[in-house]
């Protein structure tokens, strides 16, 4: 059996863990786990509770892992309880500075157990729904002292819940800001995070009461109130906008189309990455933006 898919010892170990090779993985970690600075693990949906316990034992207390990436395959569904397994994780710690979790589903008790062991400076929750992101973030924040170590939080919600649950995610983010002033936060979604003016106002108030280092909310749909809504919760972007043309001249929706001769061409998609790229491009050319005199009608 060839366990290792990609390995550049002593730096990176990339493995797909299945029911057939977990024991071998555990042996490798016991023998030379501290040789790896990066672990990229893909967990198959057929893993048993016993195998999950072995994985926890394998990754806990490794000294030199700087980056841990866990990808959960589609339909990964493992009902896992440290109490049922007789595990005591109080002395366990995943030392990775950067932790990336991808593809968590609705039943994520196993992932919550892992989060209890983690104390990263950078946490990324990727390819999940807003409700799952909120649930996992709340679980991570149960031990408030861990938030002192967290500098960066990245959340990517590419899948929507059956019923809108964005308010749960916004509440979890507001709680993280309270616990960790100065946190860098990036939230990306395929839908608007604000369901109305009340959501937006409360979120802005939370960022003003508990200043953050930098916060970006990136949506691939126009925001409530369009461009202005995002400027109010992104101080650095707000400053750039004021520098270039003042708030009154901003288009309602600023899209991903490239800058052409210093003029903006409004499109239907609003992303902060695109806006930042446009501002940077203009600055490099020494150009001041001029709004398209004939913007397309919706």
State the pLDDT at residue 42: 93
Cα–Cα distance between 81 and 93 in angstroms, integer? 17
State the pLDDT at residue 248: 42
State the pLDDT at residue 160: 79
pLDDT in tens, the chain (298 residues): 344 445 555 578 899 999 999 999 998 888 888 888 899 999 988 888 888 888 888 887 777 888 999 998 876 777 776 655 556 666 667 778 999 999 877 677 888 888 888 889 999 998 788 899 999 999 999 888 889 999 999 998 877 788 888 889 989 998 998 888 888 888 877 776 777 777 777 877 777 777 666 777 765 544 444 444 455 555 566 666 666 555 444 444 443 333 333 333 333 234 445 556 666 666 666 655 554 444 444 3
State the pLDDT at residue 68: 92
State the pLDDT at residue 145: 86
Which residues lie closer than 8 Å to 159 by C-beta, 6 or more apart?
127, 128, 129, 190
State the pLDDT at residue 283: 65
State the pLDDT at residue 2: 43
- pTM, two decimals, is 0.72
State the pLDDT at residue 291: 44
Three-state secondary structure of the chain: CCCEEEEECCCEEEEEECCCCHHHHHHHHHHHHHHCCEEEEEECCCCCHHHHHHHHHHHCCCCCCCEEEEEECCCCCCCCCCCCCCCCCCCCCECCCEEEEECCCCCCHHHHHHHHCECCCEEEEECCCHHHHHHHHHHHCCCHHHHHHCCEEEEEECCCCCCCCHHHHHHHHHHHHHHCCCCEEEEEECCCCCCCHHHHHHHHHHHHHCCCCEEEEEECCCCCCCHHHHHHCCHHHHHHHHHHHCHHHCCCCCCCCCCECCEECCCCCCCHHHHHHHHHHHHHHCCCCEECCCCCCC
Structure tokens at 197: 């003016």
Cα–Cα distance between 134 and 130 in angstroms, integer? 6
Please state the length of the chain.
298
Structure tokens at 265: 């061409």
């Amino acid at each position: 059996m060839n366990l290792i898919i990609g390995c550049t010892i002593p730096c990176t170990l990339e493995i797909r863990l299945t029911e057939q090779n977990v024991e071998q993985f555990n042996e490798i970690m016991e023998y030379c786990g501290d040789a790896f600075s990066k672990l990229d693990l893909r967990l198959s949906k057929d893993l048993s509770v016993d195998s999950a316990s072995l994985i926890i034992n394998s990754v806990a207390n490794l000294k030199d892992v700087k980056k841990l990436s866990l990808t959960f395959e589609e339909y990964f569904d493992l009902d896992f309880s440290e109490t049922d397994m007789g595990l005591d994780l109080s002395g366990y710690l995943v030392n990775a500075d950067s932790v990336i979790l991808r593809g968590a589903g609705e039943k994520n008790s196993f992932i919550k157990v892992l989060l209890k062991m983690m104390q990263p400076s950078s946490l990324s929750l990727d390819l999940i729904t807003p409700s799952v992101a909120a649930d996992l973030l709340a679980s991570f924040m149960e031990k408030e002292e861990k938030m002192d170590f967290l500098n960066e939080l990245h959340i990517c919600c590419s899948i929507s819940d059956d019923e809108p649950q964005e308010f749960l995610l916004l509440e979890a983010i507001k709680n993280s800001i309270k616990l960790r002033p100065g946190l860098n936060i990036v939230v990306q979604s395929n839908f608007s995070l604000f369901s109305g003016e009340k959501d937006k106002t409360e979120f802005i108030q939370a960022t003003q009461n508990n200043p953050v280092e930098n916060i970006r909310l990136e949506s691939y749909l126009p925001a409530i109130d369009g461009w202005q809504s995002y400027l109010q919760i992104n101080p650095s972007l707000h400053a750039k906008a004021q520098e270039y043309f003042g708030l009154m001249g901003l288009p309602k929706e600023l899209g991903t189309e490239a800058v052409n001769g210093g003029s903006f061409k409004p499109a239907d998609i609003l992303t902060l990455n695109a806006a930042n790229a446009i501002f940077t491009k203009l600055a490099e050319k020494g150009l001041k933006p001029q709004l398209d005199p004939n913007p397309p009608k919706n």
